[in-house]
Structure 1
Amino acid sequence: MAGALALLLITVVLVLLVFSVQVSGSSMEPTLRSGDRLFVNLLHSGSKAHRFDIVQVRLGPQREQAVKRLIGLPGDQVRVRLDGRRNVVELKPAGQQQWLRVENPAWEAADDHRVCCDVLGRGSDDTTAATVPVGMGWVLGDNLDYSDDSRTYGFVKLDDIGATLNLRVLPLGRAGHISHDDVVLRPVS
């Protein structure tokens, strides 16, 4: 009996290590903390990821694995502008005429003043809309002040999104589903 229990425990630990990713850094705070371990949902990778999903994505010239939030989908227009001292992320979904404001409670305290976008989806000196190309996405961290994301690296290939991450498995005290229901789109007034 003890041998079966040990085998079960080893199996659980192996599955956890193989099918999970550990958050490193503060770019997704307060939603995720450094050290959080998230279940990797391989069924919703790449083009199957949905707007506002938290995703595992390869970023930058080193193609390092990062955890970010998917904001812009192919055909969407995206921009970041300043409203006083606050960054406002806006998008116009593909095929729609109205600009919508992305409201993410995690961005409320952001003090970052990077506006966006150039033609590659990176930060720029001016607030200009950029269109997300076919096969690409646009990602941001929930901690706008400390996130190297599309504002730094530009659009990301949907093929570089390895998985969605919507289940925290560690620490046990905060384990459970990570909802994105609090991230919403509202008409720009």
Structure 2
Amino acid sequence: MNFDFALILVLATFVTGVLWLLDTLLFAGGRKSTLLAAEQAAGGELPEDVKETVTRLSWWADFSKSMFPVLAVVLVVRSFLVEPFQIPSGSMLPTLQIGDFILVNKYHYGLRLPVVNAKVVPINDPVRGDVVVFKYPNDPAVNYIKRVVGLPGDVIRYQDKIIYVNGEPQMQDLLAQLPPRAPEILLYNEKLGDVAHEIYTDIKAPNRSGEWTVPEGQYFVMGDNRDNSNDSRYWGFVPDELLVGKAFAVWMHWPTFFSVPDVTAMRAIR
């Protein structure tokens, strides 16, 4: 079962807000009147502890009053500003490691309503080379992270493990063979548009060739671990409405629950 945290957060914020409002409109006046009547009967102002007893909120009103501001702040930050994600797989190696905790700019591609993800204020469009988080087209409850390779209208060709954008090969410079004595993985520096970044290719993996024309309003994405990535080469394009945001930083590395979180892994994502 997929856990829709955004939906639960919206519902929790709504319910606590409504309960707090109901208490303010329907019951707060009654508590104030009760206090005034008690002070008149006593002939003066009551001690503070007695006041607290007389004006004490019911448990649900007290809980809602305490939680609503916190939930509202979390909802605004998470929905419109920054959201944390954890990298669960190696499809973006070497850029992102399994267990990296990343921050995603939620407003970079426009302000979107929580849960429905509808864009209400357009800001920027993705550019080639951006690392983006999006909802997986085949299961929107699941978030994926990949690199933008093709923009609307582009013709993308992948041949001999090289990307061609509108007929132009994207430059690759070999940095290392891993391990050096019996290499299985090749480490390249690839320039995708104006973005230089590192990629892996698997020497033993077969070449997968293909050509795709990116439709309007959609994007072609690939993982940096080219031979070990489930991406647009296999399931197609990412519609703009499924974009979540732009990944911009790693703030912690924590590969397993029993390992020690490493905050020295903080770095910008490029």
TM value normalised by structure 1: 0.68
1:113 matched to which residue of 2? Answer: 206
Return closer, same or farther for 1:112/1:150 CA change in 2, 3 Å cut-off. Answer: farther
1:69 maps onto 2:147 in alignment? yes
Mean CA deviation greater in 100-109 or 137-146: 100-109
Alpha-carbon distance in 2 for matches of 1:102, 1:159: 31
Alpha-carbon distance in 1 for matches of 2:222, 2:143: 14
- Greater relative contact order (CA < 8 Å, ≥ 6 in sequence): 1
Return closer, same or farther for 1:156/1:68 CA change in 2, 3 Å cut-off. Answer: same
Q: Specify the code of the residue in structure 1 equivalent to 2:86.
A: Q
Give structure 1 stretches of 5+ with no counterpart: 1-9, 93-97, 118-128, 180-189
Work out which of the residue numbers 127, 134, 149 in structure 2 matches 1:57: 134
The share of aligned pairs that are identical, in percent, is 29
- Between structures 1 and 2, the one with greater helix share: 2
Alpha-carbon distance in 1 for matches of 2:171, 2:109: 22
2:94 matched to which residue of 1? Answer: 30
Greater C-alpha Rg: 2
1:159 maps onto 2:241 in alignment? yes
Once the two structures are superposed, residues 77-124 of structure 1 have per-residue CA deviations (whole angstroms, 9 ceiling, x without a partner) of: 101112xxxx111111xxxxx52325423135564335343xxxxxxx
Contact 1:59 1:149 in 2 (8 A): no
Alpha-carbon distance in 2 for matches of 1:24, 1:30: 14
Q: Specify the code of the residue in structure 2 equivalent to 1:170.
A: M
In the TM superposition, 1:37-186 aligns within 5 A as 37-45=101-109, 48-63=125-140, 64-82=142-160, 87-92=161-166, 98-101=167-170, 103=172, 104=190, 105-109=198-202, 111-117=204-210, 129-171=211-253, 172-179=263-270
Alpha-carbon distance in 2 for matches of 1:67, 1:110: 24
Contact 1:110 1:144 in 2 (8 A): no
| 1:161 shift after superposition | 1.4
Q: Specify the code of the residue in structure 1 equivalent to 2:131.
A: I
Alpha-carbon distance in 2 for matches of 1:143, 1:154: 18
Give structure 2 stretches of 5+ with no counterpart: 1-69, 111-123, 173-189, 191-197, 254-262
| 1:60 shift after superposition | 4.1
Contact 2:200 2:226 in 1 (8 A): yes
SS in 2 for 1:44: coil
Alpha-carbon distance in 2 for matches of 1:102, 1:76: 17
Alpha-carbon distance in 1 for matches of 2:91, 2:244: 18
TM value normalised by structure 2: 0.49
| 1:55 shift after superposition | 0.6
